[in-house]
């Protein structure tokens, strides 16, 4: 059973006790230790359930004394009847840190030193405007009705051609247009993966921050990115008992910037084919390389349709367009297109046409060539500051592409405190490593979004607060 279900079960037990009057106002509830023993769970699970019930007003904690039943009747009158229903929905809410990041990420009063998108200077503004003018000329020609679940045919054809150039043996029939790569993953979860399946994910990973695979009774098993050559052992222990799938970011992993070797990719391909484990290859940063092109995608090694390749234009053009794709076998695409028609009837046709125009007239290629150079310069700028200010307190990756530098502090630092202080006192937003499943003293930095001046300001403040919150 996954942790997010367990804490709900404990919370439900306590809530019922209070609602039935077994536990009454002012009464001290059993200690964390006792509850953990009773439910055979760890203390983190108990803390999560206590936090949930506190937020619902059922209980309150007196520092150093314990947890007590609250005046919940009074509090309950301020709640509507749906809060309990929502709690048992198929998906649960993000961690508090992620909710806060999501909330502040669009606030221009902050310096966004971890943000995973292109800054204003890197978005192809003029080219996008031109593409939009071209699209506006279609109005009247095309029927502004519902599209099918597969997406805009012309765009599917162009994406298929581009993937063929990358060594992937497919046609437009293998392509489905999505509203971004995350949507592609959600579509696979609802329309392709079995409920109860075990999802093997590389860690640390972007996907941990989204909770995408939490729900539908799925279980996540983590394979350390640096140890992926060892993936067989980990999968072997579980894959016989349940349906499984492997989610992997082979190129410029978010957040570490690392990539897989060709040998590891071949191994993954061979092993997963033999064991009938689908591979979901999230290759969203592939175009953003600073050295020669990355090695072949896993999909290009796939001869029998075991790999589902997903990507999008969010990182190379603009996330606002919300256009991505899935490349998979025709059977899978057909099923997903059908499921798609049950949810939203397809992505915005206007956005699809804008991307189509950019690709068709060569503007996309010209832009990405320029972008690679600009991103590399910004990476070098950030690295220079890190070398100047952080060499005694941290080490970091030197990414060969993508947006991110992964910083690991040498000492044990209270990263959560650094995160909150930077927000509250300096208007700086960082992404702490723990939201990506990292236990170490890590943060993700992005050189893609901010100006050089803001990069410098933010890094100096991060250093100041990191030094302040060294745990002894």
Ligand X SMILES: Cc1ncc(COP(=O)(O)O)c(C=O)c1O
How far is residue 242's CA from residue 260's CA, in Å, rounded to a whole number? 26
**Should residue 180 be labelled a site residue for ligand X when binding is judged by CB under 6 A?**
yes
**Should residue 56 be labelled a site residue for ligand X when binding is judged by CB under 6 A?**
no
**Should residue 284 be labelled a site residue for ligand X when binding is judged by CB under 6 A?**
yes
**Should residue 280 be labelled a site residue for ligand X when binding is judged by CB under 6 A?**
no
In the complex, the smallest distance separating the C-beta of residue 77 from ligand X, rounded to whole angstroms, is 40
- CB count, 10 Å around CB of 360? 15
**Should residue 279 be labelled a site residue for ligand X when binding is judged by CB under 6 A?**
no
The CB-nearest residue to ligand X is 180
**Should residue 312 be labelled a site residue for ligand X when binding is judged by CB under 6 A?**
yes
Name 140's bridge partners.
none
Candidate segments 3-11, 190-198, 269-277, 311-319, binder of ligand X by CB under 6 A = 311-319
**Should residue 245 be labelled a site residue for ligand X when binding is judged by CB under 6 A?**
no
In the complex, the smallest distance separating the C-beta of residue 156 from ligand X, rounded to whole angstroms, is 17
Mask: binding to ligand X, 183-202, rule CB under 6 A, as x and -?
Answer: x-------------------
Mask: binding to ligand X, 425-444, rule CB under 6 A, as x and -?
Answer: --------------------
Q: Which residue has the tokens 């803001």?
A: 454
**Should residue 264 be labelled a site residue for ligand X when binding is judged by CB under 6 A?**
no
Mask: binding to ligand X, 222-241, rule CB under 6 A, as x and -?
Answer: --------------------
**Should residue 347 be labelled a site residue for ligand X when binding is judged by CB under 6 A?**
no
Which residues does 451 contact at the CB level (< 8 Å), separation at least 6?
A: 119, 121
Nearer Cβ to ligand X (422/435): 435
**Should residue 206 be labelled a site residue for ligand X when binding is judged by CB under 6 A?**
yes
Nearer Cβ to ligand X (70/347): 347
**Should residue 317 be labelled a site residue for ligand X when binding is judged by CB under 6 A?**
no
**Should residue 213 be labelled a site residue for ligand X when binding is judged by CB under 6 A?**
no
Nearer Cβ to ligand X (73/320): 320
**Should residue 282 be labelled a site residue for ligand X when binding is judged by CB under 6 A?**
yes
With contacts defined by CB under 6 A, how many residues of the chain interact with ligand X? Answer: 14
Nearer Cβ to ligand X (319/399): 319
Nearer Cβ to ligand X (214/282): 282
**Should residue 181 be labelled a site residue for ligand X when binding is judged by CB under 6 A?**
yes
**Should residue 254 be labelled a site residue for ligand X when binding is judged by CB under 6 A?**
yes
Residues in the chain: 472
C-alpha to C-alpha distances, 224 to 118, 231, 403, nearest whole angstrom: 28, 9, 20
Mask: binding to ligand X, 157-176, rule CB under 6 A, as x and -?
Answer: --------------------
Q: Which of 249, 287, 302, 363 binds ligand X (CB under 6 A)?
A: 249
Nearer Cβ to ligand X (319/433): 319
Nearer Cβ to ligand X (54/95): 95
Is the separation of the CB atoms in 358 and 427 below 8 Å?
no
Per CB under 6 A, residues contacting ligand X are 116, 180-183, 206, 249, 254, 282, 284, 312, 314, 319, 324
């Amino acid at each position: 059973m996954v942790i997010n279900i367990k804490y709900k079960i404990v919370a439900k037990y306590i809530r019922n006790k209070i609602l039935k009057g077994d536990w009454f106002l002012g009464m001290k509830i059993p200690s964390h230790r006792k509850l953990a023993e009773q439910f055979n769970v760890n203390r983190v699970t108990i803390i999560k359930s206590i936090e949930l019930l506190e937020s619902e007003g059922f209980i309150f904690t007196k520092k150093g004394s314990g947890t007590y039943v609250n005046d919940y009747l009074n509090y309950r009158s301020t709640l509507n009847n749906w809060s309990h229903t929502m709690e048992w929905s198929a998906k649960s809410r993000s961690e508090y840190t992620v909710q806060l990041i999501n909330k502040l990420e669009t606030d221009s009063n902050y310096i966004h030193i971890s943000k995973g998108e292109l800054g204003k200077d890197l978005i192809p503004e003029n080219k996008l405007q031109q593409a939009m003018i071209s699209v506006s000329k279609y109005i009247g020609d095309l029927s502004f009705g519902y599209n099918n679940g597969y997406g805009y045919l012309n765009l599917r054809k162009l994406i298929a051609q581009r993937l063929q150039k990358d060594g992937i043996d497919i046609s437009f029939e293998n392509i489905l247009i999505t509203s971004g790569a995350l949507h592609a993953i959600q579509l696979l979860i609802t329309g392709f993966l079995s409920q109860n399946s075990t999802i093997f994910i590389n860690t640390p990973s972007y996907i941990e921050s989204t909770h995408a695979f939490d729900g539908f009774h799925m279980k996540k098993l983590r394979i350390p990115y640096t140890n992926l050559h060892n993936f067989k052992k980990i999968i072997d222990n579980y894959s016989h008992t349940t349906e499984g799938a492997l989610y992997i970011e082979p190129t410029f992993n978010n957040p570490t910037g690392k990539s897989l070797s060709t040998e590891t990719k071949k191994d993954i391909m061979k092993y997963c084919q033999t064991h009938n484990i689908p591979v979901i290859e999230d290759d969203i940063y592939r175009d953003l390389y600073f050295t020669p092109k990355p090695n072949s995608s896993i999909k290009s090694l796939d001869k029998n349709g075991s790999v589902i390749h997903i990507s999008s234009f969010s990182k190379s053009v603009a996330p606002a367009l919300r256009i991505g794709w899935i490349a998979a076998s025709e059977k899978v695409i057909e099923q997903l297109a059908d499921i798609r028609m049950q949810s939203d009837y397809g992505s915005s046709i206007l956005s699809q046409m804008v991307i189509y125009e950019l690709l068709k007239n060569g503007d996309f290629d010209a832009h990405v060539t320029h972008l690679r150079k600009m991103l590399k310069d910004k990476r070098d700028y950030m690295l220079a500051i890190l070398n100047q200010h952080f060499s005694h307190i941290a080490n970091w990756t030197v990414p060969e592409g993508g947006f991110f530098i992964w910083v690991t502090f040498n000492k044990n630092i209270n990263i959560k405190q650094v995160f909150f202080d930077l927000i509250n006192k300096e208007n700086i937003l960082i992404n702490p490593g723990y939201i990506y499943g990292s236990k170490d003293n890590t943060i993700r930095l992005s050189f893609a979004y901010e100006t050089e001046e803001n990069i410098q300001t933010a890094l100096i403040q991060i250093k100041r607060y990191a030094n302040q919150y060294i745990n002894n």
